Amino acid sequence: MDFTESGTFTPPAGLTQVFVQVWGAGGGGGPGVLALPLGGGGGAGGFAWCSVPVQPGTAYTVTVGQGGAGAPPLGADGANGTDSTLVGPGGVLASAAGGAGGHPGLLLGPSSPGGSGTCSPPASGTTRDGAAGLAPISLTGPPGQGGQPAVSGIVEPAPIGAAEGGNGGTGLVIAAPNGGNGYVVIWW
């Protein structure tokens, strides 16, 4: 069962264990500052693959993270992507944090970290950090680079564009792209 939007999952009768893959949303791209320097790319969302116990007939909340907004020209950092989660009666069962927004186009700006993932209990799965967005660059790189793609899934990949960090903006007139929304898959 795929979730590209937030919703609920209710296990059918007899189902007591599910597998879930969650990707956090990507961070928005950072803005360009002058006519040529490029903003930094947003970090990719984190990832978690978890095997979790469920109670048949009980509703579980699925939250799909929203991609961070790309920064307008001459703006501050791009917005952070939000987390994707599976939450049940006992709390958060699986989560993947959103990536950080990209920084404005400055010569020596830092990169933007990707998100991380968690399973509850921790030994019930595996997690991967999203790739960091590339640091802002000036005249040395091609326009629009810097955002990072989603972490590869264990069973299936995220759809094209999901969990990706937004690329940096390219100067005074073009806003930076948004990060990709998160993604959640539950199967048994």
pLDDT in tens, 38-55: 788 899 999 999 999 999
**Predicted pLDDT of residue 185:** 96
- Rounded to 5°, the CA angle 177-180-186 comes to 175
- Single pTM value for the model: 0.90
**Predicted pLDDT of residue 64:** 98
How far is it, in rounded angstroms, from Cα 76 to Cα 72? Answer: 8
pLDDT in tens, 157-175: 888 889 998 888 776 667 8
Both tokens of residue 8? Answer: 């609920």
Question: Could you list the pLDDT tens digit for every one of the 188 residues in the chain?
Answer: 999 999 999 999 999 999 999 999 999 988 877 655 678 889 999 999 999 999 999 999 999 999 999 988 877 899 999 999 999 998 999 999 999 999 887 656 678 899 999 998 877 899 999 988 887 764 444 444 567 778 888 777 888 889 998 888 776 667 888 999 999 999 99
pLDDT in tens, 63-76: 999 999 998 887 78
**To which H or E segment does residue 96 belong?**
strand 91-96
The total number of structural domains in the chain stands at: 1
State the residue range of the domain holding 40: 1-188
**Predicted pLDDT of residue 24:** 96
**Predicted pLDDT of residue 167:** 84
**Predicted pLDDT of residue 143:** 47
DSSP secondary structure string, 11-72?
PPTT--EEEEEEEPPPPPPPPP-SSSPBPPPPPPP-EEEEEEE--TT--EEEEPPPPPPPPP
**3-state class percentages of the chain: helix first, strand second, coil last, to nearest 5:** 0, 25, 70
Both tokens of residue 144? Answer: 């629009």
